[in-house]
Amino acid sequence: MVEETSEFKVLLVDDRDENLFALETILKDENYHLVKANSGKQALAYLLKDLDFHLIIMDVLMPGMNGFETAALIYEREKLKNIPIIFLTAMDIEGNIYKGYKAGAVDYISKPIIAELLKVKVRAFVELSEKNRQLVRQEKMLRAANRKLEWEITERKLSEAKIKALNEDLAKKLEQLQSLDSFNYSISHDLMSPLNSITGLAGLLQTMYPEKFDDEVLEIVNHIMGSVDRMSNLIKDLLSFSRQANAEISKVDVSMRALVDDVMEEVSKTMPVTNVEIVVHELPNAYCDNSMLKQVWINLVSNAIKYSQKTPVPKVEIGGKHENGDLIYFVKDNGAGFNMAHYNKLFSIFQRLHSESEFNGTGIGLAVVKRIIERHDGRIWAQSEVGKGSEFYFTLKAKENLLE
């Protein structure tokens, strides 16, 4: 039923004012917004300005343009063809019914008008018109939703195609990387054999014919031994870097304090640490690959000691803490530091921020560290200032977060 609190527009069309007044009197209590037109032409003018009519009640016999002609012009317009029309006529309905329906009428009321019949029919057609509008609105919404769904499906298919292409490209690059790492490992391994031979032969010369070695020859042999040693270290570091690409991670509960103590003992065998103040703060335990993290600590701690040894009072600090579900570890020194303008090179392979004459090294250690930390789903970063030391940080996921 039509809601009493709603207003629905009804267009009344008749060339006689008394007939319009009669219609208005019958319908005035039905809560309609009644608009009156004295001719078919005036009715068309109203309709072209305002499409929001629920019903048209129109007299058939009007001068100039009758009701049938007016209806035909109304329904020529796509936006008006859904407005129902009730014809009022004193003519022979049976004789004109075909002509009226062809013009677009939905019903007839004969004159003289029966008030209750008019009210009932107007109410029924207004309600029908409103339901039809609701259906049209729902259809538009459904069409819009369908277009959106089609667009989303198309976008999803495009995204899936892009993801598939990216995955294929990633797989190819990974295969190439693994192939390159295998190649590096093979080449590095094969290079160690002749280097070991050179070292052995040079040492043999020194021991077998010491009387034939003057100072100049001895200096040349020492240069050879030094170059071989640097090459050997470079190959060892390159082998270590290559192994990290294919080595499986075996995570266990690790006491970081015990691991760092072990690292300090190992580092002390290869470089002087007696003149360096080493402070070890709290180190929370971690769930990680023990041997891989040992490499991380060896690289970071030995670097901190190496780059701070030229400082009058060298100091290295090691520690860690829990923060926002992560474990954050650090190694700090008060040594040479580096220029942060070159930070983008810091963790790249074969990149060094100090010359060989200042500090020896191969430029691979930090690249190895970065690869190990990233394989543990962590991250590594550094802060430094020239002449004021460096601070290196890396994160590992806390065990409780890994098991969620």
pLDDT digits (tens, 9 = 90+) for 104-155: 667 788 888 888 888 888 888 888 888 888 887 888 888 888 888 888 888 8
206 vs 361: which has the higher pLDDT = 206
Length of the chain: 404
The whole-number pLDDT of residue 357 equals 46
- Alpha-carbon distance of 375 to 289, in angstroms, equals 10
Hey, what CATH topology would domain 249-402 get?
A: Heat Shock Protein 90 (3.30.565)
Query: pLDDT > 90: what percent of the chain?
Result: 19
Above 80 in pLDDT, residue 189? no
Above 80 in pLDDT, residue 66? yes
Q: How many CA atoms does the CB half-sphere of 119 hold within 13 Å?
A: 11
Q: Look at domain 8-113 and name its CATH class.
A: alpha beta
- Alpha-carbon distance of 276 to 306, in angstroms, equals 10
pLDDT digits (tens, 9 = 90+) for 4-54: 445 789 999 999 999 999 998 998 888 888 999 999 999 999 988 877 888
The ranges assigned to domains in the chain are 8-113, 249-402
Q: Could you tell me the pLDDT band of residue 317, with boundaries at 50, 70 and 90?
A: very high
pTM of the shown model: 0.45
Comparing CA positions, the residue from 61, 60, 15, 7 lying closest to residue 36 is 15
180 vs 113: which has the higher pLDDT = 113
In sequence order, the 6+-apart residues with CB closer than 8 A to the CB of 14 are 20, 23, 38, 58, 59, 62, 88
* Cα angle, residue 108 at apex, residues 105 and 114 outer, rounded to 5°: 150
